[in-house]
Structure formats: C-alpha cells, structure tokens
Chain A
C-alpha cells in the first residue's frame, strides 16, 4: 500500500475510506502493537471496515495499530477511523 497513516490504541474497529467520488482502492490494515502480527486487512473501492476481526484482541486488552492506506497508483486523500463498538454486532 502507498502512504497512509496510523492510529494506535485500544479499539475494535478500523475503517478506511477515501473522500471524493473517484475510483481508488483503499485498505484498512490492523496489526498488533507488540509483535506486529496482522489481525485484519481488507480492501475495497471506496470504504471498508474490519467489522469483528479485532474483537479477540480488544477483549484481551491488546494494543492495536490501525492503518488506512491507498492501494491504487493515483493520488487520493485516504481517511481512517478507529473506534470501539460494544458489542461488535448484536448477536
């Protein structure tokens, strides 16, 4: 992925999207602060979420780093959004 920025902390969702209506692939990529293993990476042509991928790490109290990146060759402003939803979904 090109560029991007990160947000570290305790959260259970990471979302990436690009502003503007163009055709840009964006990826959310979330990995453990300690060890660096990936727990979620999903890409889409506009907006994508990790949904429940981060639940186990959040409940275990592990610090995560969320990354929002551009997976295309064109320039675009990519936004990331890390937040916590409890529960992840209503089961």
Chain B
C-alpha cells in the first residue's frame, strides 16, 4: 500500500463507519431487523396457560382427526370476529361422542379457544379469561344442526375435574362425561333443562358455573330452516363472498 492510497482507504472506512452508525440509529431499520424473524416461518406457539392447564393441548397437534376445512380455511366456519386469531395448525380433535359427533378445539392467538363440533351444533369461542376461570360454556338452543325438540350444552374444563354433574331446573343431577377437557350433552326441550354445571376441582374445592341456557328455552318457538352441515364433508374452496350493503351491519347495546 502506497502513501497515496492510505488516505483513500481511511476515508472509505470512515464513510462505512458513519453509514453503519446512521443505520443503527434509524428506528425503521431497527424495527425491520428485529421484527423480521417473527414473521418468517416461526412455528406458532400456544399460550403457556393452555398447555399447563389443559391436557388436550399437551398432546401433539396432527392433521389427522381435524377436518380439512377447519385446518385450511378456519375463516369459513369459525365466528368471523375470532377467526382472524385462529391458530388452526394447533387444532385438536378432543373427543368423539357416543353419537359419533367429533369435538374440535381451535386455539386463538389471544389465548382463547373455539369449540366446534362436526355437526356444527357448537361453533363458538371462549375468551382466555373465561377459559381459565372454568367458565367456557356454550349452548345451542335452536339451530339447523339439532332437532327442534333438542338442546345442547358444551364446554371446556381444566385438568383435574372430577365428578362433573349437570343440575337441572327441577333440582335433579345428571352425570356429565368429560373427555380431554371437553363435554357435550343433549337434553329434551320439553324436559328439565340444565341450569348449572358443577365439579370437584383439582384443588379439592367445588366449582359451579351457569350452564348458559336462556330461561325461555322451553317455550321458544324454534323453526330452523338451514341445512344440516357436517364439517367432515366440507372442503376449502374460493373465499365465501360477503354481500353489501344490505344485511351487513355491526350493532351493539352500548
């Protein structure tokens, strides 16, 4: 290296140092550099509260047992407000009832979980708070997925649940079968209806929650008109079209 080239190399090194310093001080550059790994192929992870409190989420998630439409197109069948947060690759088949109805759990990135049945009689999501409080109950008291004279309750309960029972509005108790943190049970509309669900908790205490069956269920005039759908028969296709503007309304009760 000659005496003439030394100042040139020095200038180039100084320019490079300034460029590196400016890049490091640029918040956009830093943001881009740090956020990139989070958006490129990172495997989805479950909320630790789910894996520690619900054994069904400690089993491996596999494609087998979960309908293709639920894994590949959850927005087609889950409630729209929750579907955007669905971690469909972590969906589980929790149980198959004695009637052949399959019960699936789809976790959300918010920590909530959706419970969906193959018969679509259940298609709802519980918040993380409800789930951890043991209050992730749901009901179907009128739908095209059930006979009009039948109602259904379903839910998600934490590990350690023992002696689960449904208390009916005439005071009688009916044993509730819990499998893989889930339960589903059907009742005649004109009979005694579920009021509460109770169980002995892992800590030895007794836990009781509302069955969430509306009070007028026995007398409501239920005339469903839709076709019964089985999730196992559905295949993902083109995105369903939403029509506007008629019948496209968000409303609330303040």
> Chain A residues in contact with chain B, CB under 8 A?
1, 3-7, 9-13, 15, 17, 21-25, 27, 32, 36-57, 60, 66, 68-72, 77-91
Interface string of B85-129 (1 = CB under 8 A from A): 000000000000000000000000010101100001011111111
Q: Is the interface of A mostly helix, strand, loop or mixed?
A: strand
Please name all residues of chain B whose beta carbon is closer than 8 Å to the beta carbon of A47 when the two chains form the complex.
Answer: 79, 81-82, 112, 114, 124-125
| B252 contacts A80, C-beta separation under 8 Å | yes
Complex: chain A residue closest to B239, CB-CB: A90
| A50 contacts B143, C-beta separation under 8 Å | yes
The number of chain B residues touching the other chain, given as a range, is 35 or more
| B69 contacts A45, C-beta separation under 8 Å | no
Q: How far is the CA of A6 from the CA of B251 in the complex (A)?
A: 7
A43-B139, A47-B124, A80-B252 are known contacts. Are A55 and B81 too (CB-CB below 8 A)?
no
Shortest Cβ gap from B209 to chain A (Å): 9
| A45 contacts B226, C-beta separation under 8 Å | no
Q: How far is the CA of A78 from the CA of B254 in the complex (A)?
A: 7
| A38 contacts B76, C-beta separation under 8 Å | no
| B242 contacts A7, C-beta separation under 8 Å | no
| A49 contacts B247, C-beta separation under 8 Å | no
B12 at the interface (CB under 8 A from A): no
Q: How far is the CA of A78 from the CA of B253 in the complex (A)?
A: 6
Q: How far is the CA of A56 from the CA of B136 in the complex (A)?
A: 30
| B142 contacts A38, C-beta separation under 8 Å | yes
Shortest Cβ gap from B121 to chain A (Å): 9
| A1 contacts B214, C-beta separation under 8 Å | yes
| A15 contacts B234, C-beta separation under 8 Å | no
| B251 contacts A7, C-beta separation under 8 Å | yes
In-complex Cβ contact of A23 among B122, B133, B233, B240 (8 A): B133
A-B contact pairs, 24 of them (CB 8 A): A7-B251, A9-B246, A12-B247, A23-B127, A36-B221, A40-B144, A42-B122, A42-B138, A42-B141, A43-B124, A44-B124, A45-B124, A45-B138, A46-B125, A48-B79, A52-B120, A52-B229, A53-B142, A53-B143, A54-B226, A77-B252, A78-B252, A84-B242, A88-B229
